């Protein structure tokens, strides 16, 4: 059971780290997009024009009324403090004006203010807002974030998608200057690193009515000049999805009726909800009451619908994980029930969480208990019989013979390193020595054979996809398959030949190998399979060995990642390499070519088109076919270029790709 729980713990930890890494890559790439840069500049200009616009007494009354009758009553449900509206109502003209237009006068109810595309005031701010709001709303919804913030260098929130009370406030001097959103802003504002990105842990966030909020932040530059900060708020429900295996699927994950995985922060407070809370809330609250948990805390959990940042768990497993240890132990969980638990720390940026996978001890060892009962009953019957039988046999056969028989059975059962003690120098002793020599020889040959098999399997998997390798090992011949729709990525490294002419053979090979290894690692991250390299060409496919509905999107995301990678390599090496990339989707035929020296090859029109369309007069450009364009239209900024001509096919329409934003496999909380 320890091994099983440790395996589940490791899978969850890896999924969590990969999700956060994808989120970091997403926000970093989005910050470089011209859309974000232009939006900050346009919102800032429009905001400045409202700094001397005074709202009417009626509008001021409506704004205060919203805080007193809408925001404050909801906030009081979730906090033990006694908040006062006057501490939160904005007082600067532009902030008052925009909060009135987009919050107080917004006809949508609390929690749905984001549905207003533009206020009816016809101000320049509302014109800019209408231009960008639907795009940002699409990003938040599609990639499962909670909110998106554009903030200038002074700490002024210029835009937020959700339109909560942090909208257009100032994070240096406003009511939320001590929040973790302000902390996220300040971290990026203090950095001059173009590639800086950071995560800020969950805290109770007042604009969410004191519910949990966590943020991922990066600075925005125009050239080398700081322009502002881009912040995305993480969705804690997606984190719960990861820890509950995409929604209450504990049993399918091997955790039975009582097992679960959850996260605890360095403050010993939950970062995800427990299984008991999700499955049986009445039993959960009854347990908290029996543990003398403060009544106000219990009421806050009820009102917020979550124990995150409210329930404290300081079990042995949690404390060991927060201390940086990994392992598995028996202990009593927060319910006071004996459990088996596997734990480890998960380092997220500059803070640490404890990840625990546990199961009730009674359930974990239920099969063992049942087996023990059966063994006791069986032993009670068989032991007397075997005692009589053994007494009779011992009178007939000599002890050394019994030892040889036992040794032979152990060898026959597959046991290794079997040796029988030589107890005499007669014929039985000679027979024992012969047996020992034979058993040793079998062990050695078995080890050599097993080592050879493992090496052959490793070499085979370097050449063939795993499913094809299994078919070949089973004896299948003439392996060939048709695939209805996959995506081919053809990459040409521009400038490598010129670089090789001015470098030694070892230098050229070292650089090419470093680049191809980086390509391979990036392909693995996006679920893309490398087919082969030919000189400075790299050919890959998505949707072949593993059928993927989003193989076209993964292929384009992989191509975008390669462009970023080649840019980083050029900065590191001082080189001027570029990439020409062609992406095309369609049917292919794949199979093993050759016998003694074989390769796994793809062929067909799809491969020919991908090879054809990769060429371009420009460098660092992705060119896609019509099938890719139609599949991903609306998700990227495609520009038509000149058609290509393929013999027997005619003209082929081609588009070049300029990314709106980086499309990772998924967002936080969504596993690939």
Give, for 651, the enclosing helix (H) or strand (E): strand 650-658
* 632 and 608 in a common domain: yes
* 172 and 61 in a common domain: yes
* 422 and 304 in a common domain: no
Q: Is residue 17 part of a domain?
A: no
**In angstroms, rounded to a whole number, what is the distance separating the alpha carbons of residues 380 and 394?**
22
Give the mean pLDDT per block of 10 residues along the chain (672 residues). 89 90 92 96 97 95 96 91 93 96 96 95 96 96 95 97 96 96 96 94 93 95 95 91 83 89 95 92 94 91 92 95 95 94 91 94 75 54 60 54 72 72 69 72 68 64 73 80 93 89 86 91 94 91 91 95 92 88 94 78 90 88 94 90 87 80 35 30
* 116 and 89 in a common domain: yes
State the pairing for strand pair 578-593/621-625: parallel
Q: Of 296, 330, 364, which one is at a domain's C-terminal end?
A: 364
State the pairing for strand pair 338-348/327-332: antiparallel
State the pairing for strand pair 578-593/157-160: unpaired
Query: What stretches of 537-661 show up as alpha helix (H) in DSSP?
Result: 551-573, 605-613, 626-632
* 269 and 213 in a common domain: no
**In angstroms, rounded to a whole number, what is the distance separating the alpha carbons of residues 138 and 145?**
10
Tell me which residue range forms the domain holding 262: 251-364
pTM greater than 0.85: no
Residues 356, 341 contacting (CB under 8 angstroms) = yes
* 652 and 524 in a common domain: yes
Q: Is residue 3 part of a domain?
A: no
| pLDDT at position 105 | 96
Residues 228, 220 contacting (CB under 8 angstroms) = yes
What's the number of domains the chain is made of?
4
| pLDDT at position 667 | 35
* 505 and 453 in a common domain: no
- CATH number reported for the structural domain that contains residue 193 in this entry: 3.30.450.20
- CATH number reported for the structural domain that contains residue 310 in this entry: 3.30.450
* 577 and 517 in a common domain: yes
Q: Of 202, 234, 266, which one is at a domain's C-terminal end?
A: 234
Q: Is residue 6 part of a domain?
A: no
**In angstroms, rounded to a whole number, what is the distance separating the alpha carbons of residues 23 and 92?**
34
* 612 and 499 in a common domain: yes
Residues 662, 25 contacting (CB under 8 angstroms) = yes
* 431 and 516 in a common domain: no
- CATH number reported for the structural domain that contains residue 482 in this entry: 3.30.70.1230
Q: Of 234, 260, 293, which one is at a domain's C-terminal end?
A: 234
* 326 and 213 in a common domain: no
Q: Is residue 597 part of a domain?
A: yes
Query: What stretches of 149-210 show up as alpha helix (H) in DSSP?
Result: 180-189
* 637 and 548 in a common domain: yes
Q: Is residue 226 part of a domain?
A: yes
Closest CA to 338 of 358, 318, 322, 367: 358
């Amino acid at each position: 059971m320890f091994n099983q729980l440790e395996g589940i713990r490791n899978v969850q930890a890896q999924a969590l780290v990969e999700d956060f890494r994808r989120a970091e890559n997403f926000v970093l790439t989005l910050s470089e997009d011209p859309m974000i840069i232009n939006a900050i500049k346009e919102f800032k200009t429009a905001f400045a024009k409202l700094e001397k616009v005074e709202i009417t007494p009626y509008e001021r009354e409506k704004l205060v009324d919203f805080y007193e009758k809408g925001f404050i009553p909801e906030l009081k449900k979730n906090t033990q403090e006694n908040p006062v509206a006057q501490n939160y109502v904005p007082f600067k003209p532009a902030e008052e004006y925009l909060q009135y237009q987009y919050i107080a006068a917004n006809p949508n109810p609390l929690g749905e203010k984001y549905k207003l595309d533009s206020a009816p005031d016809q101000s320049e701010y509302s014109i800019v807002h209408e231009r960008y709001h639907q795009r940002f709303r699409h990003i938040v919804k599609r990639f499962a974030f909670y909110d998106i913030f554009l903030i200038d260098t002074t700490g002024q929130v210029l835009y937020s998608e959700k339109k909560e009370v942090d909208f257009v406030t100032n994070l240096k001097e406003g009511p939320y200057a001590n929040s973790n959103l302000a902390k996220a802003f300040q971290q990026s504002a203090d950095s001059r690193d173009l590639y800086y990105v950071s995560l800020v842990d969950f805290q109770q966030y007042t604009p969410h009515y004191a519910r949990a909020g966590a943020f991922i932040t990066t600075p925005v530059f125009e050239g080398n000049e700081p322009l502002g900060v881009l912040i995305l708020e993480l969705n804690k429900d997606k984190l719960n999805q990861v820890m509950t295996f995409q929604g209450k699927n504990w049993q399918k994950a091997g955790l039975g009726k009582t097992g679960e995985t959850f996260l605890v922060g360095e403050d010993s407070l939950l970062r995800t909800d427990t299984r008991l809370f999700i499955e049986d809330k009445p039993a959960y609250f009854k347990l908290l009451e029996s543990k003398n948990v403060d009544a106000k805390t219990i009421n806050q959990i009820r009102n917020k619908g979550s124990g995150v940042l409210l329930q404290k768990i300081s079990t042995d497993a949690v404390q060991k994980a927060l201390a940086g240890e990994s392992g598995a132990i028996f202990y009593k969980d927060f319910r006071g029930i004996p459990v088996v638990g596997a734990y480890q720390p998960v380092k997220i940026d500059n803070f640490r969480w404890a990840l625990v996978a546990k199961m009730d001890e009674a359930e974990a060892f239920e099969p063992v208990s049942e087996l023990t009962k059966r063994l006791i009953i069986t032993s009670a019957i068989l032991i007397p019989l075997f005692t009589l039988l053994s007494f009779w046999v011992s009178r007939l056969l000599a002890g050394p013979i019994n030892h040889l028989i036992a040794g032979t059975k152990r060898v026959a059962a597959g046991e290794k390193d079997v040796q029988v003690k030589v107890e005499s120098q007669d014929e039985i002793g000679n027979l024992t020595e012969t047996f020992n020599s034979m058993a040793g020889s079998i062990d050695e040959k078995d080890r050599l054979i097993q080592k050879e098999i493992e090496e052959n399997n490793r070499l085979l998997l370097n050449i063939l996809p795993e499913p094809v390798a299994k078919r070949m090992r089973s004896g299948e011949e003439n392996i060939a398959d048709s695939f209805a729709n996959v995506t081919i990525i053809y990459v040409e490294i521009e400038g490598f030949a010129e670089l090789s002419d001015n470098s030694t053979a070892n230098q050229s090979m070292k650089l090419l190998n470093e680049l191809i290894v980086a390509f391979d690692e990036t392909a693995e991250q996006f679920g893309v399979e490398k087919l082969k390299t030919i000189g400075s060409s790299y050919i890959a496919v998505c949707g072949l060995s593993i059928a993927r509905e989003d193989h076209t999107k993964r292929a384009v995301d992989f191509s975008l990642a390669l462009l970023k990678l080649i840019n980083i390599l050029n900065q590191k090496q001082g080189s001027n390499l570029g990439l020409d990339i062609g992406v095309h989707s369609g049917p292919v035929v794949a199979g093993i070519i050759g016998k003694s020296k074989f390769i796994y090859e793809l062929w067909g029109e799809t491969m020919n088109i991908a090879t054809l369309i990769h060429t371009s007069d420009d460098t660092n450009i992705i060119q896609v076919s019509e099938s890719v364009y139609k599949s991903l239209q609306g998700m990227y900024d495609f520009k038509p270029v000149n058609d290509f001509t393929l013999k027997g096919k005619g003209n082929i329409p081609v588009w070049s790709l300029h990314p709106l934003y980086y499309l990772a496999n998924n967002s936080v909380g969504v596993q690939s």
